Amino acid sequence: MTLKVVDLSNNNGSKNIKDYPADAYMFKATEGCNFVDRYCDPFVQQAIKSGKPFGVYHFIDGSDWQTQTDFFIQNAQGYIGKGILVLDYEMYGRQGTGILKQMLDRIQQKTGIKALVYTSASVLFEEDFSTIVKADYGLWVAAYQSNFPKIKHWTNAAMWQYTSIPYDQNIFYGDQNTWKAYATSGKCQPSSNQVKVESIQVQQPNPQTPSDHDKAVAASKAVHQGNAWAKLDKFNGASKGKVRIAGWLVPDKPEGAIGKFAYILIMKHGTNEEITRVASQGIKRPDVKKSYNYKGGDALGMDVTVDLSWVKKGTKIDVIFRRCNQANGEGAVNDVRIKDIYLTL
């Protein structure tokens, strides 16, 4: 058996979980050492009232691991033993799996609960999670595709996040008793009638209106590829035949290399075919610089409007954010393709 799970935070518009039909819910509780999501407790109380299983997660940032672990525990006190606990390991919070295990161990020592690890499937191939797996901590994996992703270290996952359109949706591999086991005892025992993850397929939902598409873009998460992170902020029709694309790219290391020139490549979705490319001025993004602890300049943003009226109607496009050292867009230093969000011309 599986459960349909929706995870929500202050980034979602509605505060009413009835607007997000699901069998169970995950809610963002905290981030770093200071941020408490104001939507969390109202969401939790609605879930309890409706009899739906729930969980809460902490978004790890780059601050002191012990301080933020205790901050999460303090603010999740009312949910311990009732909902699943999760540490969200991504973006600028990736301090290393050694630190992550210390955070997981501290939660278990203070609460008696083994929290799950949330991370992208790609991260499993970039870092060594073997000691975390050996300690029997479970996995919630993110991969926006139609089939369960290839994973490493773990042999299976407790939950799979398969899309962010129009909001984050997941499959939990088990029933309500399995969910309760994670929430109360922390023992990662699967349900006896658990469906094999390899057998699950989902159809990726498509935004039905321009408004849905804009919401999906705004709510999308940063993507890591190679030596950089990138995030799509705007991707829509600006006027007849023209498309506006905006976002940012930042090296994944504080002193990481970044190309002199900024380009956005328009790609035919689902292929490696480049339709066109357009140069962008570097847009100042001090917020991105600070969030990723980048030591270079803050001109990390890109924003272009490109005329695609000549492209065949109905063509699906996605984009690559590129920083390069050649004025024609070649000599890429950083390339991040946002392949999970596309626009139909």
18-22, 77-81, 234-238: range with lowest mean pLDDT: 234-238
Work out the average pLDDT over 155-176.
Answer: 92
pLDDT digits (tens, 9 = 90+) for 2-47: 999 999 998 887 899 999 999 999 999 999 999 999 999 999 999 9
Q: What mean pLDDT, rounded, does the chain reach?
A: 90
Q: Look at residue 157 and tell me whether its pLDDT is greater than 90.
A: yes
Q: Write down the pLDDT at residue 271.
A: 92
For the chain, domains (ranges, CATH) are 2-199 (3.20.20.80), 210-344 (2.60.40)
pLDDT of amino acid 329: 94
Please indicate whether residue 340 or residue 259 has the higher confidence score (pLDDT).
Answer: 259
Q: Is pLDDT above 90 for 155?
A: yes
Q: Which two tokens stand for residue 140?
A: 């919630």
pLDDT digits (tens, 9 = 90+) for 242-287: 999 999 999 999 999 999 999 999 999 989 999 999 999 999 999 9
